[in-house]
Amino acid sequence: MYLIPSRGAPGAAAAAVLAGVVGTALAGAALLSGCGGTSTGPPPAARSGAPSPAPGHESQTPTARPAPSGPSHAVLPAGRIGTYRVRRYALEVGYRPAGQPARRVLRVFVSYPAVPRAAGDLGHGLFPLVVFAPGYRQCAAVYRVLLREWASAGYVVAAVQFPRTNCQVAAPDEADLVHQPADMSQVIGRLLAAGRRPGGRLSGLVDGAKVAVAGHSDGGDTVAAMVASTCCRDRRVSAAVVLAGAEWPAMPGRYFAAPTVPMLFVQGTADTWNPQSASLQLYQADTRGRRYYLALPGVGHFTPYEGGGPPEPVVARVTVDFLDRYLAGQAGALGAMRRAARAVGRGRLVSGGRLPHLGGTEP
């Protein structure tokens, strides 16, 4: 069982709401749209243009687990996978970038903790926001397990399907990646507004002061630029998770010209699509920010993030612990993050520019 340090006894109102969250059966929502393991669209392609393996299939029904101790303030707790049932919905975000003749239309798939109506009495901004960028020729559905786990731990999670690089595009254009940081910023703004708007699905659920970005492969490149490059920094973002990502050479601007928000890099050592050297370069180039690197020995480019088989569970736990520390503000989460990385024997977690230890016992 995965545990986090106790956050203290709940107040009466918060305890009643949390009991309702885990004790009341809530209707499930429609699954994420888009392409995934059952897609009839073109197979995902590698960053070099080669075809990728088909993503794995996994159960789409979350497993209920006992709730952790409640919060000491009038908020709902984040930090334990399986605390909340998850609801989902899709929306479109359209905008016209400055200097471009055409509008960009983004499909966005939102997963969020299901709470009873009584939670509205606890105030606004109940949960942090995580906006996710898929990889090249990938759609949100292939990440459904990981995204659902984040949401079940107490995060509002939004996966952005980019208009020219998703799995349903017949002739994708990887060069469009330079526009994806702006796409992500547009989605952040739309969801923060949705959280403030009364009567909507996200009304009162989104904490506008706690925003993170995460991404895989080209999506990792996208979010790295959002927090580290002078081209694209979004100062609403407080933390970033880069899964098999790198610096994108065509991205305008300069990387790490100023201190960055905390960053977590996750990388398989057997990844031939985004070589380990590429993510290590990005990790070590940040000499002033708080940064962590999780190496997954013998693991490739897709398995850790798409589907629910090993080592995805350790990726889920480590990323949730990272978000708990740097988004939810839980001081004890770093210790939990290190324990989660060591427990399965697959990952090695380092920080501060240290290189990962891939053999034997971690020093």
What pTM value is reported for the model? 0.79
Query: Residue 44: its pLDDT value, please?
Result: 39
Question: CATH number of the domain at 83-351, please?
Answer: 3.40.50.1820
The helix-helix angle for 218-228 and 180-196 (nearest 10°) equals: 70
C-alpha neighbours within 13 Å on the C-beta side of residue 17: 23
* Per-residue pLDDT at 358: 61
Pairing mode, strands 291-296 and 348-351: antiparallel
Write down the pLDDT at residue 69: 39
3-state secondary structure of 111: strand
Task: Check residue 59 and give its pLDDT.
Answer: 33
Q: Which of 306, 272, 311 is nearest to 294 (CA)?
A: 311
Domain range summary for the chain, segments of one domain joined by +: 83-351
CA distances in angstroms from 176 to 137, 162, 317, listed in the order given: 12, 9, 32
Average pLDDT per consecutive 10 residues, the chain (363 residues; last block may be shorter): 29 41 37 36 38 35 36 59 96 90 94 76 80 97 97 97 95 96 98 93 94 98 97 97 96 93 96 95 93 94 94 96 96 93 73 75 33
Token pair belonging to 256: 């790490």
For residue 247, what pLDDT is reported?
95
What is the SS3 assignment for 75-90?
CCCCCCCCCCCEEEEE
